[in-house]
Amino acid sequence: GIKEESSQTGFLGEGSYGKVVKCTKLDTNEAVAVKIVRKDCFRQGKKEARMLKKIQKLDPEKNNLLKFIENFKYKGHFVLAFEMLDVSIYDFMSRRNFAPLHLSEIRVVAQQLLVALNALKRAGLVHADIKPDNIMLVNHESQPFKVKLIDFGLAVKVSKLWFAGTIQAIGYRAPEVILGLPMDESVDMWALGCCLAYMYLGYNLYPTHCEYEVIRAIVQIHGQPRDDVTVYKGLPKDPAEPENSLGFISLLKRMLLVDSNVRITPTEALAHCFITMKHLSDERYSPNVPSAWKMKPSAAEREAMFCKQGTPAYLVEVKTCKKTVKRAWDFLSRLIASISCSKGCK
C-alpha cells in the first residue's frame, strides 16, 4: 500500500481539515495526492472516506469524479490517497491574472461538470461544496480543460442534507441554504452556476464573506433591468458571438433561479443549446464554426466524456472574441435579469 511503499515529495496545499502532500510510489514511481487529516478531525476523515467509496461505484473516469485509491491511519492521523491531478480552476485563473475564459472553454468545463452532477443526482448524493478550488484540471498540457470534481468532505445523501450543518462556501451558497429553506441536490446546480460565472467574469458573481451581502446581491441581480442592456456595442469579430453569449446567459439564468423547484437539472442542462451548440447550427455561421455543430450533441458529449487524449479539438475551435467593452458587474447582473430564453433557447 501507499503507507509502506511511498515517500513524500512535495506540498500541494492546506484545507480546513488538514494538509495535502504529493507522494511517489517507490515501486512504480507513480505520483499520488495524499490528504493528511488533522487529528481533531479524525471523524470527518472517516466520513469522507465512506463517501469516496460510494463515489468509486459511479465510475469516476466516466463521470469526471475524483479517483480514490485508499485510506489508512498514520501516527494518529486519518490519511486519504487520491489520483494526482494538475491545478484547480482557481489556481489556473490566478496564474492568468484572472483573465476570463472563452465561452468555448467554459462550455467544455460545464459539460463535464454537468455529467458529474448528473451521476451524483442519480446516486442521491449532494457534493455541497462546489467552488473553483474543488474543480481540478486533470493535466492541462496534455488534456486541455479536462476536469474532475474533487473534495467530498461535505458530501451527503440528499435525504440527510437538512441535518448536514453548514454547507457551501458563502459566495457559492444557494439562497435556500442561507434562508434555511428545504434543500435538495439543486444546491449543487446553483454553486456550479456561480463557478461558470466566475470563469466568465474573472471574479466572483456574489460576495464571498457575508451571507447578508449575498442575499442583497441576489435581489439586485433579479431586479428590474434597463431596456438597453441587450444592445451590443460594436460588431464582434465572430458573428456567432452574440448568440453564443445569449446561450450562455440563458443557461446561467436557469442555473441561478432563486426558486430551487424550477432550477434547471443536470439532464436538462446537458440538453441546453449552450452545451449542444444547437444555437450555432444556422448556415450563416458555417465559416466560423466549421465542424462542431455538425456533430450530433450526444456524440459530442460522449467524446468529451471519454476522450483519453484531452478535450476534443472541435469543441474548443469555436473561438469567441474578447468583448470590446469591459465585462462589468452591472452589465452581467442586468443581462441575467433581462435576457429571455425566447432568444432561441429553451
Q: Tell me if 343 is assigned to some domain.
A: no
Q: For residue 342, what pLDDT band results from cuts at 50, 70 and 90?
A: very low
Those residues whose C-beta lies under 8 Å from the C-beta of residue 286, and which sit 6 or more positions away, are none
Which of residues 58, 83, 108 is at a domain's end? 83
Higher pLDDT, 304 or 171: 171
Q: Tell me if 11 is assigned to some domain.
A: yes
Task: Assess whether 191 and 308 both reside in one domain.
Answer: yes
Task: Assess whether 55 and 151 both reside in one domain.
Answer: no
Q: For residue 336, what pLDDT band results from cuts at 50, 70 and 90?
A: low
Those residues whose C-beta lies under 8 Å from the C-beta of residue 29, and which sit 6 or more positions away, are none
Give the model confidence (pLDDT) of 69-91 as tens digits. 999 999 999 999 999 999 999 99
Task: Assess whether 148 and 291 both reside in one domain.
Answer: yes
Which of residues 52, 67, 83 is at a domain's end? 83
Of 27, 91, 129, 259, which one is the catalytic site residue?
129
Its domain, for residue 68, covers 2-83
Higher pLDDT, 47 or 325: 47
The answer to whether 80 and 49 are in contact (CB under 8 A) is: yes
Q: What is the mean pLDDT of the chain?
A: 80
Task: Assess whether 164 and 40 both reside in one domain.
Answer: no
- Residue written as cell 466549421? 290
Q: Tell me if 345 is assigned to some domain.
A: no
pLDDT surpasses 90 at 269: yes
CATH of the domain at 16: 3.30.200.20
Q: For residue 2, what pLDDT band results from cuts at 50, 70 and 90?
A: low
pLDDT at 149: 98
pLDDT at 335: 52
Q: Tell me if 14 is assigned to some domain.
A: yes
Give the model confidence (pLDDT) of 227-256 as tens digits. 333 333 343 455 566 678 899 999 999 999
pLDDT at 16: 75
Give the model confidence (pLDDT) of 151-192 as tens digits. 999 999 999 998 888 999 999 999 999 999 999 999 999 999
pLDDT at 165: 87
Q: How many domains does the chain have?
A: 2
**CA–CA gap between residue 161 and residue 224 (Å, rounded):** 33
* 62 annotated binding-site participant: no
Which of residues 63, 83, 103 is at a domain's end? 83
Q: Tell me if 213 is assigned to some domain.
A: yes
pTM attached to this predicted model: 0.77
Query: Is 40 among the catalytic positions?
Result: no
pLDDT surpasses 50 at 283: no
